[in-house]
Amino acid sequence: MSANALMQVLHQLPIPKDKNLLVGFDKADDAGVYRMSGDTAVVTTLDFFPPILDDPFTFGQIAAANALSDVYAMGGTPRLAMNIVCYPKALPLEPLNEIIRGSMDKLGEAGVLLVGGHSIEDSEIKYGLSVTGFVHPERVITNAGARIGDSIILTKPIGSGVITSGLKAGKIKDADVTIEAMKTLNRAASIVMAGFGVKAATDVTGYGLMGHAMEMCRASSVNFVIKAAQVPFFPMATELVKKKICRPRSIASNMEFLKDEVRCVNVDAAVEMLLYDPQTSGGLLLSAPQGRAAKLVDALRSKGVNAAIIGMCVAREDGWRIRIE
Ligand code: CO
Ligand code: CO
Ligand code: CO
């Protein structure tokens, strides 16, 4: 659903209150967090969607990496997972077997146990997982922890929405770099940021870099300045948008939803559009004090995480929330 539609529904609901509920749905964060004891909180989340590419095993891997990511974004360690399956009656069962095997491959890498699930017949395949993890209640990383003067760091390139729809439409053949990135767990990035005492993070998914950055701005009461030239993009992504070969429809709806709160100065139109591209299994978006940001990026890179500083947090100012320059 669009961010707009979802917000209209959620705003009408009563907000659950409990002294141990550390993060609920009203925070627009990645996962719910509930304190069980002085040193343990449960992190719980759920994500599922239709196949974004043809190979079922790879789709399963990406769906799992994507579902686990919300726990990593909260600084948590995922432990248990349950399948969510929608599957057409008319299809053979072999592809579903491959999807789940791909998913279990990633769950195994993450040290997560598949413990059950639920399946229904549906006209279209959809697959995902509900994931449960744990975190120390004082080390929960939320989207509300960004502070003025923080540098903003992104841990995967942007453009997987454009690339996967280009692949589906037969407009490109080689998407290996993008697929590899979508399959990559945000675990290493999460462990490094937790080790650095990072206070604010989210992961970049369906609302695009700008949509998830906006959630952090709102929750943290700061403004963001994003340096478009410093944002890494997947190979071919800019070209596909520039030549109008492929532009996912949700780019426009993500843009429309935020237009009153974003100022864009001297940025190429294709690059601007990519900042709203819906991501699957995108990277972590985090903020850290400017003086420590370069060291943090070095630490992330030494663990194979393709991290970059893409902007900074500035004081709250009326009339805009994010400036892209
Ligand atoms: Co998320
Ligand atoms: Co999610
Ligand atoms: Co059931």
Report pLDDT for 140: 98
For ligand 3, the distance from its centroid to the CA atom of residue 119, given in whole angstroms, is: 7
Report pLDDT for 224: 98
For ligand 1, the distance from its centroid to the CA atom of residue 104, given in whole angstroms, is: 20
For ligand 3, the distance from its centroid to the CA atom of residue 57, given in whole angstroms, is: 24
**110 three-class SS:** helix
For ligand 1, the distance from its centroid to the CA atom of residue 215, given in whole angstroms, is: 10
Report pLDDT for 134: 98
CA-closest candidate to residue 142, choices 200, 87, 184: 200
Q: Which ligand is nearest to the CA of 119?
A: 3
Q: Which ligand is nearest to the CA of 46?
A: 2
Residues surrounding ion ligand 3 at CB below 5 Å: 118
Domains, the chain, with CATH or none: 16-139 (3.30.1330.10), 151-324 (3.90.650.10)
Provide the b/e sequence for 192-226 (b: ≥16 CB within 10 Å). bbbebebbbbbbbbbbbbbbbbbbbbebbebbbeb
| Kind and range of the H or E run holding 102 | helix 94-110
Report pLDDT for 317: 92
Report pLDDT for 230: 98
For ligand 2, the distance from its centroid to the CA atom of residue 275, given in whole angstroms, is: 18
Report pLDDT for 324: 98
**87 three-class SS:** strand
Give pLDDT tens digits along the chain (325 positions). Answer: 888 888 889 988 999 999 999 999 988 899 999 999 999 999 999 999 999 999 999 999 999 999 999 999 999 999 999 999 999 999 999 999 999 999 999 999 999 999 999 999 999 999 999 999 999 999 999 999 999 999 999 999 999 999 999 998 899 989 999 999 999 999 999 999 999 999 999 999 999 999 999 999 999 999 999 999 999 999 999 999 998 887 778 899 999 999 999 999 999 999 999 999 999 999 999 999 999 999 999 999 999 999 999 999 999 999 999 999 9
Report pLDDT for 246: 76
**120 three-class SS:** strand
